[in-house]
Amino acid sequence: MGTLYSACQGEGMGTPSPFFLSHFVSLIISSYLRLSIFKIGRFMKKFGIVTTGLLMAVLGCSDKVQEGEILRVDSIPVKKIRVDAAVNNYLEQMGSHNADDSIKVREQIIEGMVKNALLTLKAKKEGYTYDSTEVNRFIAMYKAQMGSDSLINKKLKEAGLTMEDWRNDVQDQSMIGKYLKVKLDSVIKAPDSTAVDSARKMMKNFEVKASHILLKVPADAAQSEVEAAAKKMEGIQKEIQSAEGKNFAAMAKKYSQDGSARYGGDLGYFKRGTMVPQFEEVAFGMAPGQVSGIVRSQFGLHLIKVEDRREIAVPEEAVQRAALNLTKSIAFDKLIEELKKEFPIVKPEESK
């Protein structure tokens, strides 16, 4: 798994987000929105753990939900201020979102905090402790990267935390990491055969060969300019449709306003992540021979024709690595379900 400190230095991770210091969020709707903004190391990223804050500060043995708490996992509260701060920060990073996104984010943050509380309780019950050297190194590293205690304190205050609470959070993650390393990482050395099949299917990737016709329209163009370009493109589209797409290259040479025009709009083969999202989404959703409707991107208006589609070979090593992660993830989910039976989760309506 690697240490908490080394995990933060993972490939391509750079400086952690300021909210790394109070949330350690990774899973939040990653499967829904395919986003991951709090990159927190292999176990945190793999299993979707979120700190609840104040987990080490046992607030008595009350099994009743107190004011300001959303629920309790045994003696550990999941506080509204922590959930609100995590949700707001995530949505800010996410940019455009709707009410459904906000609800989904909140639900999964709460679930992540419940998981973290369960793991903290179990690790403590089984006698695990944190690695003080690891914790101190991580805190020193983060302070050095942030460059200002006042900035750290500002972010902590927004989440209803003190510096001591943050240290407790970091200690929790160190302890949980040690527990999971023994419980999962040291036990699961090879992927399950079903996981290998699933990983191979999930990792199937394609590239497409496409041509396009582009009418340049600035992103900030007036509505009249957009409408004029759209009217022209509709005329081009009708000509192509009347020829069942067979004249696409000729039409691209005649009308397209980019460098590919001389080649009949040919863009060659490309993988996902190569083109702008609006263009790519349409191109990868089409079958060879199909011509798209009018697509708007930051460059203007496009007509796209997919010429070919072929599978890209995925290295077996990558498949096996993904399958091993999937096997551990399934085992992690089973562990969480077991812990939910061991430690009571009390909601407000159940604590009256």
- Is the domain of 190 the same as that of 65? yes
pLDDT band at 148 (very low <50, low <70, confident <90, very high): confident
Q: Which of 48-52, 140-144, 318-322 has the lowest mean pLDDT?
A: 48-52
Model confidence, pTM: 0.61
**What are the tens digits of pLDDT across the range 191-230?**
999 999 999 988 888 999 999 999 999 988 999 999 999 9
Please give the average per-residue pLDDT across 72-90, as a whole number: 89
Tell me how far apart the alpha carbons of residues 121 and 174 are, in angstroms, rounded to a whole number. 14
Tell me how far apart the alpha carbons of residues 168 and 56 are, in angstroms, rounded to a whole number. 6
- Is the domain of 48 the same as that of 133? yes
- Is the domain of 175 the same as that of 235? no
- Is the domain of 238 the same as that of 333? no
Note the pLDDT of residue 44. Answer: 39
**What are the tens digits of pLDDT across the range 40-60?**
333 333 444 445 443 333 333
- Is the domain of 185 the same as that of 210? no
State the CATH number of the domain containing residue 288: 3.10.50.40
**Bridge partner list, 308:** 209
- Is the domain of 120 the same as that of 266? no
* Domain enclosing residue 224, as ranges: 205-312
**What are the tens digits of pLDDT across the range 178-187?**
999 999 999 9
Query: Containing H/E element for 301?
Result: strand 300-312
pLDDT band at 351 (very low <50, low <70, confident <90, very high): low
Q: Is residue 248 classed as helix, strand or coil in its secondary structure?
A: helix
Tell me how far apart the alpha carbons of residues 337 and 198 are, in angstroms, rounded to a whole number. 22
- Is the domain of 213 the same as that of 142? no
> Angle at the Cα of 244 (from 239 to 250), degrees rounded to 5?
55
Please give the average per-residue pLDDT across 226-252, as a whole number: 95
- Is the domain of 49 the same as that of 172? yes
State the CATH number of the domain containing residue 74: 1.10.4030.10
- Is the domain of 240 the same as that of 167? no
- Is the domain of 108 the same as that of 73? yes
Q: Are strands 345-346 and 266-270 parallel, antiparallel or unpaired?
A: unpaired
Note the pLDDT of residue 243. Answer: 92
Total number of domains constituting the chain: 2
Note the pLDDT of residue 280. Answer: 94
Tell me how far apart the alpha carbons of residues 125 and 175 are, in angstroms, rounded to a whole number. 11
| Two tokens, residue 295 | 């697509």
- Is the domain of 218 the same as that of 189? no
| Two tokens, residue 21 | 């210091």
Cα-based distances in Å from 239 to 9, 16, 227, 263, 295: 55, 53, 19, 19, 17
**Of 80 and 34, which is predicted with more confidence?**
80
- Is the domain of 57 the same as that of 178? yes
Q: Which residues contact 334 (CB under 8 A, 6 or more apart)?
A: none
